[in-house]
Amino acid sequence: MGELILLRHGETEWSLDGKHTGRTDIPLTARGEAAAKALEPVLSRRGIVAVFTSPARRAVTTAAFAGLADDARSGRDWKRH
């Protein structure tokens, strides 16, 4: 059976301050970028077959730094049924 791996976006200034970002498109901090980049060697060995991300820049950037951008489909790409 397959596995479901969930990742939260990297640190932002608002998450650092304990604020809820909601739909506000806040970029990652340098620490958030570094944490996402640290995931790449681990995730590259996982054989991931699908990646879904919200269209928020912080989520898309996290996926890119984690080495998942080539397979990522953002919320903008999802079809509504």
Q: How confident is the model at residue 69 (pLDDT cuts 50, 70, 90)?
A: confident
Q: Based on the structure, what is the number of domains in the chain? A: 1
Whether residue 72 is contained in a domain is answered as yes
Query: Is 67's pLDDT higher than 90?
Result: yes
Q: Which residues form the domain of 60?
A: 13-77
Q: For residues 15-43, give the mean pLDDT.
A: 90
74/7 Cα distance (integer angstroms): 14
- The H or E element containing residue 4 is none
50 vs 81, which has greater pLDDT?
50
Whether residue 20 is contained in a domain is answered as yes
Q: For residues 46-70, give the mean pLDDT.
A: 89
Q: For residues 34-42, give the mean pLDDT.
A: 96
The pLDDT of residue 72 is 67
